[in-house]
Amino acid sequence: MLGEQKPDEEMPAVRWLPFQLNPDLPAQGISRQEHMERKFGPGAHRNYSHLINIGKEVGIDFAFDAIIVQPNTLNAHRLMRYGAQHGRENDVAENLFRAYFQEGANLTDLPVLTATGERAGLDRAQLESYLASDDGKDEVLRGDIEVRQAGINSVPFFIFNRRSALSGAHEAEMLLKAFLDSCNPDSVQATDQT
């Protein structure tokens, strides 16, 4: 069974690396419709039926029509970094994805990011102070550059045990196979299947 774990097995560690899809957007973001039309042409923002159907199959109710702002994600990545420092990185990631893709949250809005982090188990007052500062900004920007210099230019992108990589969205079985292959010292692979 996929994901089955024996009591003596450790779960693999997951690290989230900073990668901004649109690093050149202004800090406040831009209209989602404007962004989609610039990128894909008129009416592109309405062409989500395939993704919505896939989401429903796995229990995700995408609400693309609720997304008003295409965000600059620098502060969202700072929130991820803060979450990692407090042992809540995966919780922060899940809550950011839910806030944006299911609730249409504006991820450039610091109170929205604070509430998202609090929902992930972070202390609200400390998080407000952190997000109001520039703490972590340089580290996120450096990390984004390093990821790009390593050849990553899209998301999702998975790196397994620093030995193999898989680009694009895949079924859980494919991800598990890539992970297990990366545990084999004789196996090294890089797959781009976007």
Domain boundary among 118, 133, 150: 150
Instruction: Count Cβ atoms below 10 Å from residue 148 Cβ, excluding itself.
Output: 13
pLDDT-derived band at 40 (thresholds 50, 70, 90) equals confident
Q: What is the pTM of this model?
A: 0.84
Residue 55 in this model has a pLDDT that exceeds 60: yes
| Co-location of 77 and 142 in the same domain | yes
Contact assessment for residue 106 and residue 112, using Cβ atoms and an 8 Å cutoff: yes
What is the three-class DSSP state of 191?
A: strand
Contact assessment for residue 70 and residue 29, using Cβ atoms and an 8 Å cutoff: yes
Selection from 98, 105, 106, 94 nearest residue 61 by Cα: 98
| Co-location of 49 and 143 in the same domain | yes
pLDDT of residue 183: 87
